[in-house]
Amino acid sequence: MADKMKTQFIMDDEDESPPPSSADSDSDSGDFCYNFSIRCQAQSPVHMVSSDHETADHELLQHLQNTAAISSSASTTPHPINNNNINTTSSQQNTPPPQTSTIGQSPKSDTTSLIKQQHRQRTRSVSKSTTAQTKDQPVLHTRQRTIFMAGRPPWYDAQGQLVEPFVIGVCGGSASGKTTVAKKIIEELDVPWVTLLSMDSFYKVLSEDAHRMAENNDYNFDHPDAFDFDLMVQTLKRLKRGKRVEVPCYNFVTHSRERRTKIMYGANVIICEGILLFTHSQLLDMMDMKIFIDTDSDVRLSRRLRRDITERGRELEGVLKQYNKFVKPAFDHHIAPSMIHADLIVPRGGENKVAINLVVRHVHTQLQSRGLKLRSKLVNSHFDQPLPKTLKVLPMTSQVLGNHTIIRNEQTSRDEFIFYSKRLMRLLTEFTLSLLDFKNVIVDTPQNVKYHGKRLDCSKICGVSIMRAGETMEQALCDVVKDVRLGKILIQTNQESDEPELIYLRLPRDIKDYQIILMDAAVATGAAAIMAIRVLLDHDVPEANIFLCSLLMATTGVHSVAYAFPQVKIVTSHVDPELDGKFHIIPGFGNFADRYFGTEA
């Protein structure tokens, strides 16, 4: 394998050593987006996060386009970027040879023709998280398809319940090499998703007097009272439950927390590192493995001098004053005694390859014992059970049956397929809205007569599409719900494990306050739907506020979703009885996205 799978993370422009799997955000309002497909080494930051979703969508599309492998001998034309939609596939094909310009020939028309040809080329996206073919690119482009080489695999079982992550604590003196060891462990782990949580993010907000003391190097940053342990414990607990958290960003130059925060998620492996990590009993209880980095004091001092002077703009005299007054006594009184809690003591830090390999082997053993095979379990469960009460099926009128007949017909043209699919989507969307809560109201008619009616008792509705097929249902929702908010979740299938992987999401920041209509064109095993619902729950959306809306479902998918999440309302226009060996719905309507977008083979 040319290059091992590294952790996915999104780094800040200003943070010196930000944790992996973190996304920058402004904590005020608006949407946030998160790209799980970034695969790179811990030393190589990738800047692809924006609190503005249009900018983030633009950056994601631009990144995918810039990494496309297009023949150097062919004439190239950049794809147009649509900031309102995420295009999850990259279109490539053999481009015609360059032609000599002639008088009267319109280069614009050639460009338009080329773009049309490219958009009709079939490009299926799958994920290969552990078999990276290139060294630096998280996305591999071929002439046949686009392959995402990283993504977040399932972090829950077939019942939708979270699987406990493996938590590693790394402690040691200041500048002992804790972050270096953590990153080397991440590099060697070869697992698709790791979260690194630094204790440095949890320094307390300083008062004016304390801030003046810090500017004069008279504030003790190495004492337990300098840290907000309550916030760190709460954050780590939420990460272990797979929840989304906002981690503070601490600026060591200004000695203050920045306005922005980092968005982080739980993972297969969570690595916590900090100087006083082993001094707090609640943090110790949450760790599965505790590592102490034992580095010579002279080495730690030289590293601290270099870091504080070159990276934090401090004077030599101030650094030495702070070291002798606070740092060394803190190590002797607090840090060194906590070594007794360590399961493994690593001399020489990141240079000790034997110790790092030992940690990696142990973590691999633990992860294998917790391994998940989600899709196969979903297919082989819930046989001969009645359909759940949470399932609501659109009444099969002659109109609905006629639409189904057309879109299921293999001979139906693409234009007719799109037209009648949209008709069915509109009917299904109206039916879904009828399941929301309504309240009694009285209005005055133009004839001054009281009319007793109903009004939707819900002010916030958000449609979340499971890309790419789910995006086709967005327009129907926008047509019937004024000013509806939209979110997107990109889930792809890992080509090797055949399991779903979370690649990208964009959701309203206050999504927990919304009624959610989760849209996908078809639900077969329910694996992607369960992952999407789990994402919403991790963003604190109440389970009872979620409506899973799909044109067509298989019986297996209905049972899987209902069993995992009994409060989620499931809405569809029809339930087909079975799946074939490739998890295709039978009789079904084929690959909906390929037929809708015209990307059939």
Both 339 and 396 in one domain: the answer is no
Both 464 and 586 in one domain: the answer is yes
Any domain includes 1: no
Please give the Cα distance from 434 to 476 (Å, whole number): 15
How far, rounded to the nearest angstrom, does the alpha carbon of residue 51 sit from its chain's CA centroid? 14
Give mean pLDDT, residues 561-567: 87
CATH of the domain at 484: 3.40.50.2020
Adjacent-strand bridge partners of 257: 250
**Where does a domain end: 369, 388, 407?**
369
Q: Per-residue confidence at 425, pLDDT binned at 50, 70, 90?
A: very high
Both 202 and 290 in one domain: the answer is yes
404-408 LR contacts (CB < 8 Å, sep 24+): 404/573, 404/574, 407/589, 408/587, 408/588, 408/589
Are the C-beta atoms of residues 553 and 149 closer than 8 Å to each other? no
Q: CA-CA-CA-CA torsion for 245, 251, 255, 256, nearest 10 degrees? A: -40
Both 61 and 26 in one domain: the answer is yes
Q: Is the pLDDT of residue 316 over 60?
A: yes
Pairing outcome for strands 289-294 and 344-347? parallel
Residue 208, token pair as written in the block: 């004016």
Any domain includes 128: yes
Give mean pLDDT, residues 91-96: 41
Any domain includes 214: yes
3-state secondary structure string, 491-520? EEEECCCCCEEEEEEEEECCHHHCEEEEEE
3-state secondary structure string, 39-61? CCCCCCCCCCCCCCHHHHHHHHH
Reference 424, options 590, 550, 593; nearest CA is: 550
Q: What is the pLDDT of residue 147?
A: 41
Q: What is the pLDDT of residue 208?
A: 86
Q: Which domain holds residue 117?
A: 22-98+106-148
Q: What is the pLDDT of residue 154?
A: 65
Both 341 and 412 in one domain: the answer is no
pLDDT, one tens digit per residue, over 268-307 is 788 899 999 999 999 999 999 999 998 888 888 888 888 8
What value does the mean pLDDT of the chain take? 74
Length of the chain: 601
Please give the Cα distance from 150 to 40 (Å, whole number): 10
Both 220 and 347 in one domain: the answer is yes
Are the C-beta atoms of residues 191 and 359 closer than 8 Å to each other? no
Both 314 and 344 in one domain: the answer is yes
Reference 123, options 522, 492, 552; nearest CA is: 492
Both 445 and 490 in one domain: the answer is yes
Any domain includes 52: yes
pLDDT, one tens digit per residue, over 175-232 is 888 888 888 888 787 665 678 888 989 998 888 888 888 888 888 888 999 999 999 9
Q: Is the pLDDT of residue 393 over 70?
A: yes
Give mean pLDDT, residues 435-458: 91
pLDDT top residue among 40 and 174: 174
Q: How many domains does the chain have?
A: 3
Q: Per-residue confidence at 524, pLDDT binned at 50, 70, 90?
A: confident
Both 349 and 410 in one domain: the answer is no
Both 129 and 266 in one domain: the answer is no
Q: Per-residue confidence at 309, pLDDT binned at 50, 70, 90?
A: confident
Q: What is the pLDDT of residue 216?
A: 84
Both 57 and 177 in one domain: the answer is no
Adjacent-strand bridge partners of 438: 456
Q: What is the pLDDT of residue 467?
A: 87
Q: Hey, what amino acid is at 342?
A: A
Pairing outcome for strands 485-493 and 500-508? antiparallel
Reference 158, options 464, 386, 371, 321; nearest CA is: 371
- Of 44-58, 351-365, 521-535, least confident by mean pLDDT is 44-58
Q: What is the pLDDT of residue 156?
A: 64
Verify cis geometry, omega within 30 degrees of 0, for the bond prior to 348: no
Please give the Cα distance from 71 to 391 (Å, whole number): 50
pLDDT, one tens digit per residue, over 120-169 is 443 333 333 333 333 344 444 444 444 444 566 666 665 656 677 889 99
Any domain includes 209: yes
